[in-house]
Amino acid sequence: MEAMEWSWKTVADLLGLLAVLVLGGIALVRWLKRSRDNPPLLIFKWLFTALLLYVIFTVRPLVGSGPYLVLLTLTLAMIAGVLWAPNIAEVLFRPIWNAFTGGDEEPEPRPFYSIARAKRKRGQAAAALADVRAQLAQFPNDFEGQMLAAEILAEDMRDLEGAELTIQRLCEQPGHTPQNLAYALSTLADWYLRIGQDPENARRVLEQLLEKFPDTDLAITARQRLARMPTTEWLAESHEPTRIVVRKGIENIGLQRQPVQLTPPPEPPETLAARYVAQLEQHPDDFETREKLALLYADAFGRLDLAEDQLEQLIQHSNAPPAQVAHWLHLLADLQVRHGRDEATVRRTLERVEELFPNSPHAEQARRRLNLLPLEFKSKQKRQAIKLGVYEQNLGLKRGLPG
């Protein structure tokens, strides 16, 4: 029984010693990796310190507890202090040093494009492009570098095919956000319009954006641009010098019986309405044209019901931005105030902003307008035309005083 107890105690002691050795070894390895000392120097310090401790504990029984032991201990302690002074100072002052330098963490490697941008500003487009591609060789998926390379190709070297190849490669890489890809394709479409005067390729690029991100806010923006895509003729005229045509003036303008209209007459509302309807049949998501049509229905034709229908189509659009929806609701309230709806109807329209976007700046703006709505109706009543009475004619030609 005693032998068994002695064996279990021995095993426990050995396991404890093994655990201490393992933990000590792990601590020493981590110390070795994180220390600023060279590994051979740090190992020498460990061995020398172990030797000093061995000397102290070995000599102590021989010297006793007299002054010789104290003198020996102080001497060895001074040697150890000089040996470990840099490490002790580093431990004590490292937090303060790390606060200024950021610690021992290695900085994240990032591409460096400032030299390429400087060369580009000096007109050295080829050298700038070479520097950008050298950085992209180390960071092939960097969005900023690929866009900078495409920009140099398009704007400085007028190589739109090379710029599109760069953008298309960017779109095929994984890991880029939809917003970045949409920005890249939209920028490529801008280059085709502004530099190449090529609306067909610009349209093709925007349609590619629609295919990649259907039923999103990005697609709505692309559809708005497609609805206002300029023609080749308009682009060519916009790049030509402005020509001022001076027409022959009206002779004997002072003898004309009717007032002379120097500005061209405005386009008839019927013509504008037909144009807007045709545009919306081709591009149903053209927000600007539908808003113009609503204003035309209300103000030119007096058909508030048709205007409300057009604005409701905008408000109910699934991908319309919140700011736009709030704007259309306020516009609907303006038309309702202007064309005779009662205060309760306008109030319900403005309350829809709070229901759709609670706890938002749009809701706060709607609440402020709701508080001032009675004053808005009162000021409208004051602005209404007041019918004047019938007064005596030719009052200024009478000889006597008026009655």
pLDDT value at residue 319 = 78
pLDDT digits over 256-301, tens only? 666 656 566 778 889 999 999 998 888 888 899 999 999 999 999 9
Q: What does the pLDDT average to over 75-87?
A: 70
Judge whether residue 91 has pLDDT over 60.
Answer: yes
pLDDT (mean) for 341-347: 91
Give the dihedral sign, CA 246/248/253/257.
negative
Confidence of residue 237 (pLDDT cuts 50, 70, 90): low
403 vs 132, higher pLDDT: 132
Q: How confident is the model at residue 403 (pLDDT cuts 50, 70, 90)?
A: very low
Distances (CA, A) of 128 to 131, 140, 146, 280: 5, 17, 13, 46
Which range in 12-26, 131-145, 366-380 is most confidently predicted, on average pLDDT?
131-145
Mean pLDDT is lowest, of 205-214, 257-266, 337-346, 358-367, for 257-266
Over residues 102-117, mean pLDDT: 78
Q: Lowest-confidence range among 57-61, 215-219, 303-307?
A: 57-61
User: What does the alpha-carbon distance between residue 289 and residue 267 come to, in Å, rounded to a whole number?
Assistant: 16
For a pLDDT cut of 90, what percent of the chain falls above it? 42
Instruction: Centre a 10 Å sphere on the Cβ of residue 171 and count the other Cβ atoms it contains.
Output: 18
How large is the angle between the packed helices 304-315 and 287-299, nearest 10 degrees? 160
**Long-range pairs for 317-321: beta carbons < 8 A, 24 or more residues apart:** 317/220, 317/285, 317/287, 318/215, 319/215, 319/216, 319/217, 319/219, 319/220, 320/220, 320/287, 321/217, 321/220
Range with the lowest mean pLDDT among 164-178, 212-226, 269-283, 285-299?
212-226
Domains and CATH numbers, the chain: 117-238 (1.25.40.10), 270-382 (1.25.40.10)
The two structure tokens encoding residue 314: 């905008």
User: How confident is the model over 72-93, as a mean pLDDT?
Assistant: 69
User: Hey, what amino acid is at 71?
Assistant: L
Q: Which range (57-66, 189-198, 364-373) has the least confidence?
A: 57-66
The pair of three-digit structure tokens given for residue 339, joined into one six-digit string? 């064309």
3-state secondary structure 247-308: CCCCCCHHHCCCCCCCCCCCCCHHHHHHHHHHHHHHCCCCHHHHHHHHHHHHHCCCCHHHHH
pLDDT in tens, 40-72: 776 777 777 777 776 666 766 655 555 666 666
